[in-house]
């Protein structure tokens, strides 16, 4: 909708906007002020027959070097603060990635933390309201 100029503003995952900006040369700007900060989580299911493989994966995925390496391909930040200093350039284009990272200190001034409890209690109602609004 942004690319087709059907809307002038939207919410989106920053990695998608980065790809549109850099790879598709769309004239988009991210407004970090008031960004919604969200996290993904890993868990090991109790009783898994692959416990050692799961532990090995979590060790691999939680290494700061591996978290930061994702930043060579898409503008998704490492979840560990120590990883932001390891962010360099986009592998394909050479674009400096730090300004595109949501957890770069310069982009963290006024974040809104996602409230999973609230969304668990109200998400269905909000999705219905949004769909009704969108269909008008």
The tokens for 14 are: 């920053």
Q: What 3 state SS string does 68-122 have?
A: HHHHHCCCCCCCCHHHHHHCCECCCCCCECHHHCCCCHHHCCCCEECCHHHHHHH
> What per-residue confidence (pLDDT) applies to 40?
79
> What per-residue confidence (pLDDT) applies to 122?
98
Burial class (CB in 10 A: 0-12, 13-18, 19+), 7: exposed
CA torsion 101-103-107-108 (nearest 10°) is 170
- Structural domain boundaries in the chain: 14-135
Q: Are 18 and 75 in contact (CB under 8 A)?
A: yes
pLDDT tens for the chain, 136 residues long, are 999 999 999 989 999 999 999 999 999 999 999 999 887 789 999 999 999 999 999 999 999 999 999 999 999 999 888 999 999 999 999 999 999 999 999 999 999 999 999 999 999 999 999 999 999 9
Could you tell me if residue 74 is left (phi over 0), alpha (psi between -120 and 50 degrees) or otherwise beta?
beta
> What per-residue confidence (pLDDT) applies to 63?
95
The tokens for 73 are: 């391909």
pTM for the model stands at 0.79
Q: Which helix (H) or strand (E) holds 61?
A: helix 51-61
């Amino acid at each position: 909708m942004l690319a087709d100029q059907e809307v002038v503003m939207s919410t989106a995952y920053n990695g998608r906007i980065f790809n549109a900006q850099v790879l598709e040369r769309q004239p988009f700007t991210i407004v970090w002020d008031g960004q919604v900060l969200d996290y993904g989580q890993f868990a090991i299911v109790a009783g898994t027959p692959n416990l050692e493989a799961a532990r090995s994966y979590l060790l691999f995925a939680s290494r700061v070097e591996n978290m930061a390496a994702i930043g060579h391909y898409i503008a998704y930040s490492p979840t560990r603060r120590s990883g932001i200093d390891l962010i360099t350039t986009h592998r394909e284009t050479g674009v400096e990635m730090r300004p595109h990272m949501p957890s770069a200190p310069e982009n963290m001034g006024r974040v809104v933390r996602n409230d999973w409890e609230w969304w668990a209690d109200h998400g269905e109602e909000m999705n219905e309201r949004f769909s009704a609004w969108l269909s008008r």
